[in-house]
Chain A
Amino acid sequence: MKLLRKNIEKLNLFLENYPKIGIYFPQFLIILLLGIIISYFSMNASTNMAARGIETGFGFLANKASFDIQFSLIDFDSNDSYARAYLVGLLNTLLVSGIGIFFATVIGFFVGITRLSTNILASKVAEAYIEIFRNIPLLLQIFFWYFAVLRLLPSSDNSLILFNFVFANIKGIYIPRFIWENLNYFLYGFLFSILIIYLFVSISKKKQEKTGLQVPTFTTSLIIFFTINFLVIYFGQVGLTLSYPVLETNRGLHNYMGGVSVIPELIALAFSLSLYTSTFIAECVRAGILGIDKGQKEAAASIGLSKAQILKLIVIPQALRIIIPPVTNQYLNLTKNSSLAAAIAYPDIVLVFAGTALMQTGKAIEIVSITMLTYLTLSVSISIFMNWYNKKNSIAER
């Protein structure tokens, strides 16, 4: 022990005399260590792959996938390539994340605001909601909605019928499909109206900064929006008809044709992702609103702003500054959590690519790294955006 201490003291003295060694040596050591580890693993990998007769490389992406995907947003059949299967999986992941983000935000803001309600009963109910859905593992919630609720729906020939146009059965939920005529006119008109409103808002903002006169932007924008769209719809003869799902019987098999079918896996996944993430968003919203100093509201009231103005001009902008960064983080978590889809066989990127494609090709390294890189790209780009946003919106302190 004494000897060790003496040696350490000697080493310290030595390092003090040559300070550069203290800087370069540890870094050199790390690089050396990493190099050894990486080369050891890659050596093993190459011998193992050679022994199993698996070629490495990404050439397999162009090969025929020869499996089917039960649900995809773009056309896919077994003649398509693995690259296209990857795209199908990615789109499915983005689809369920998008739906989840939308509903999680809506529910989360609603619950978060209710949690702050002066009505004690409402606030307690919101709290119970948050505690229950936050403290049960997401996978369990997905299983519950999928196996214990959606799998218990009746078979196709006696589906549950809601409002005469929504049909629910064990194969999924069927809703009417929109059939548009001259949809492109409508889209052009819609974009045009948005552009006009944008110009109008920025002009009136400049005017207000110059002269102090307020233009009722919101009402005018609504009027512009509806007039332009109505004119386009009327003169462009844009039409909308609904195609209802119809029960068809083919060789004793009942099936709904026409309309849009939503598979139960998607419903269970989107539902549980929204419920689970909404609890976290609710907490962020609550923290954001509580984070605003009471003095801000009082100061705003004392210069004669109305209640609505206080909310719109003072509370919401400041609360959003606190709320948006953690909520974006939750969106990211939701997207990553959507990978649990694999457990109930919703064809997302993990199931299609890291599951089926990996089983068929055996290219573990390539496929797992592509999958991880995909998620990594998503999260790194979101965190870059977040840093940019924080910098832009941080309070300029004097």
Chain B
Amino acid sequence: MKFINWSKQNLFANWKDSLLTITILYLFYVSMPPLLNWVFLDATFFGDSKKDCTGDGACWVFVNVWIKRFTYGMYPNDQIWRINLAFVIFFISIGSYFFVSSKIKKCIFIFLTVIFPFLAIFLFHGGSLGLEEVETRVWGGLFLTLFISVFSIIFCFPIGVLLAMGRRSNLPVIKYFSIGFIELWRGVPLITVLFMAAVMFPVFLPSGTNLDKLIRVIIAITLFESAYIAEVVRGGLQAIPRGQYDAANSIGMGYWKSHLLIILPQALKIVIPGVANTFIALFKDTPLILVVGLMELLGMVNMAKTNPAWLGLATEGYVFAAFVYFIFCFSMSRYSLGLENKLKTTN
């Protein structure tokens, strides 16, 4: 009875609504069964080669066999534990962040932002202390996606904050330099910045030096995203009431002191959702590194589908990659939305 009332109100309020509802239900009825059959019922999940796929449905064997490559790229099999270890440390420290007292929270925060990056790079790259060296050109898969997005955001955050402060500065040289820098990177597509990293950076470096491609890409992405972070942070700085600046000045604080102790702590808290959104955009942009020859998840799928033993399975590969990206982006966007709502009510 309740359901009938509810549907009368929300689905069949008038003849237009009813028509719309019936059309949508019909479309579902037509499209869902074949789709479900393809994904689940007729699909083959386990096996070793393309020959195991007999049904008319999807051949998930492809994903199953290649999953290690999709996750870790061409990283040597016997060294994969290093990546896993780094990520386990990362997730344990992030997870415990929500359950401990504020004093330990500070320690964890410092560990994550200052110590962990070096530890992770050491674990991934190796080369000393008994760890075998793994060159960056075999890095790939989802691991590389996460590596590039996390490291770029760590590097571009301080630059972005400085640029945002510079843009609001009273000193004309600093102000116009910041504006020029921000608008330059915001005005061009990432792909041209990556091209720049690939072909232009080597020209500018002293002859003989050979900067690793991955480092060049991270520099390029950092320059590019710092402009976006700067705009987000500027929004936060603008939202701080004038009185806060005046109050800080009136008790004798200078520019840096007032910003570090009064303005930035408040402004950065407001911009957390904006930064999260920038991070999602950055995460979604990482597949672009394909154009300079680095293979993250999408790149690996692209490579696997051209393997002679696995031809014709592009759809499965892309659907799988889309699913992975969707899970990451969707959960992050929901989290940032939750933060936004929380901030709205507390402010």
CB-nearest residue of chain B relative to A34?
Answer: B177
Cβ-neighbour of A45 out of B25, B204, B302, B305 (below 8 A): B204
The reply to whether B20 and A44 contact each other, CB–CB distance below 8 Å, is no
**B170-214 vs A, Cβ < 8 Å mask (1 yes, 0 no):** 111110010000011011110111011001101111110000000
Partner-binding segment picked from A77-85, A213-221, A242-250, A365-373 = A365-373
Please report the C-alpha to C-alpha distance between residue A218 and residue B17 in the assembled complex, in whole angstroms. 29
Decide if A187 is an interface residue (CB 8 Å cutoff).
Answer: no
Given A48-B207, A148-B318, verify A375-B189 contact (CB < 8 Å): yes
The reply to whether B21 and A119 contact each other, CB–CB distance below 8 Å, is yes
Decide if B147 is an interface residue (CB 8 Å cutoff).
Answer: no
CB-nearest residue of chain A relative to B333?
Answer: A135
Name the A residues within 8 Å of B330 (CB-CB).
131, 135
Given A30-B177, A45-B203, A136-B325, verify A147-B291 contact (CB < 8 Å): no
The reply to whether A140 and B322 contact each other, CB–CB distance below 8 Å, is yes
Please report the C-alpha to C-alpha distance between residue A272 and residue B25 in the assembled complex, in whole angstroms. 26
Decide if B54 is an interface residue (CB 8 Å cutoff).
Answer: no
Interface size on A, residues (CB 8 A): 56
Please report the C-alpha to C-alpha distance between residue A358 and residue B298 in the assembled complex, in whole angstroms. 26
Decide if B67 is an interface residue (CB 8 Å cutoff).
Answer: no
Cβ-neighbour of B191 out of A30, A120, A134, A339 (below 8 A): A339
Cβ-neighbour of A342 out of B171, B183, B287, B291 (below 8 A): B291
Given A45-B203, A47-B207, A135-B326, verify A343-B290 contact (CB < 8 Å): yes
Please report the C-alpha to C-alpha distance between residue A30 and residue B202 in the assembled complex, in whole angstroms. 25
Tell me what chain A mostly uses at the interface: helix, strand, loop, or mixed.
helix
The reply to whether B205 and A121 contact each other, CB–CB distance below 8 Å, is no
The reply to whether A120 and B192 contact each other, CB–CB distance below 8 Å, is no
The reply to whether B11 and A358 contact each other, CB–CB distance below 8 Å, is no
The reply to whether B11 and A144 contact each other, CB–CB distance below 8 Å, is no
Cβ-neighbour of B192 out of A136, A147, A151, A354 (below 8 A): A354
The reply to whether B11 and A143 contact each other, CB–CB distance below 8 Å, is no
Decide if A132 is an interface residue (CB 8 Å cutoff).
Answer: yes
B262-312 with Cβ < 8 A to chain A? 284-288, 290-291, 298, 302, 305
Decide if A337 is an interface residue (CB 8 Å cutoff).
Answer: yes
Decide if A51 is an interface residue (CB 8 Å cutoff).
Answer: yes
Name the B residues within 8 Å of A372 (CB-CB).
188, 192-193, 196
Decide if A205 is an interface residue (CB 8 Å cutoff).
Answer: no
Cβ-neighbour of A12 out of B24, B177, B254, B290 (below 8 A): B254
Given A31-B173, A135-B326, verify A340-B207 contact (CB < 8 Å): no
Decide if A379 is an interface residue (CB 8 Å cutoff).
Answer: yes
Please report the C-alpha to C-alpha distance between residue A131 and residue B325 in the assembled complex, in whole angstroms. 12
Given contacts A44-B205, A131-B330, A375-B189, list 10 more A-B pairs with CB under 8 A: A48-B207, A118-B13, A119-B11, A121-B11, A122-B20, A140-B318, A143-B298, A143-B302, A372-B196, A380-B187
Please provide the 5 A-B residue pairs with the shortest distance between their CB atoms, ordered closest to farther. A27-B173, A135-B329, A379-B187, A336-B189, A339-B189
